[in-house]
Amino acid sequence: MIQLSTSVCLLGGLFLIAPVLMAPTLANMCRPLKTLNDSLSHRRRYMKHNFPINYTIRVHHKEIFKLSNISKMRLNVEELDNLVLQRLWFQVNQGVLKKIIRVMPERHPSRPYTAELERRFRDAEGVFVESHPAEVFQQELPDTIQDIWDGLTEEPDRVPDSSWRFASPKSLLDNFCHTMFCLFSECFASTEAPQDYCDVSHWRKGRKKDLQPES
Ligand SMILES: *[C@@H]1O[C@H](CO)[C@@H](O)[C@H](O)[C@H]1NC(C)=O
Ligand SMILES: *[C@@H]1O[C@H](CO)[C@@H](O)[C@H](O)[C@H]1NC(C)=O
Ligand SMILES: *[C@@H]1O[C@H](CO)[C@@H](O)[C@H](O)[C@H]1NC(C)=O
């Protein structure tokens, strides 16, 4: 702690605007996550235009993991560590990517895109795991989070019918992207215009500017 504040003073003295300080473990994540964001920024073309209109795939309802879920969990789960949500984010989106890839024939025009997206996601996950002591991943999860985890890792044939939902690949990647900005917001912070990426209305505004009637 003492060391940290010394470096804050030093930085504050050296630069007019002190850069946002973050834990070194999170700093490691920023490069792979930015690379992932570069891929995700093409999701409309590859996940919407290359699929039939209104195309949906079947996912577990817990794989629909949106900003509203995060805010609800933060309200309802006491002392919820962001790291727990980050672990959940990796778990959810690993399943989402697998399900999207599974429905695409070998020659589907979005296949190379999705394969690269998955590769980049794995890279980020590798850095995430390396950046934390192994004990972190053995820590007990809060009950509500453990229940979600169990639902996600259940054998598909043991999942009750009522737990399945249909969602478009594009909407799943929208969730993937928006929750990434929220849970790793330090990596996407902008000095000129600070954003609250966890705020649902942030993305609603973005959509209007898009001038796309339906996304
Ligand atoms: C994500 O990537 C796109 C394309 O490279 C870029 O325009 C956008 O600013 C990035 N978003 C953030 C929050 O860094
Ligand atoms: C797609 O879904 C929208 C909204 O549910 C519906 O109005 C439209 O007719 C559908 N388009 C096709 C081609 O099925
Ligand atoms: C997010 O909320 C929806 C309903 O609001 C729910 O169906 C889904 O299971 C939730 N996702 C997670 C990961 O809890």
Give dist(CA 129, CA 115) in Å, integer.
Answer: 21
Ligand 1 atom at minimum distance from 187 CA: 14
What torsion do the CA atoms of 175, 179, 181, 186 make, to the nearest 10 degrees?
A: -170
Model confidence pLDDT, tens digit, residues 152-203: 999 989 999 999 999 999 999 999 999 999 999 999 987 777 788 998 887 7
29-57 confidence digits (pLDDT tens): 999 999 999 999 999 999 999 999 999 99
Smallest CA-to-CA distance from 41 within 182, 191, 178, 190 is with 178
Domains and their CATH numbers in the chain: 4-211 (1.20.1250.80)
Ligand 1 pocket, mutate which of 30, 35, 37 (most atoms under 8 A from CB): 37
- What is the rounded average pLDDT of the residues 101-109? 96
pLDDT for residue 160: 93
Nearest one of 148, 140, 133, 124 to 81, comparing CA atoms: 140
Tokens representing 186 are 């330090």
Measured by CA distance, the residue closest to atom 4 of ligand 3 is 69
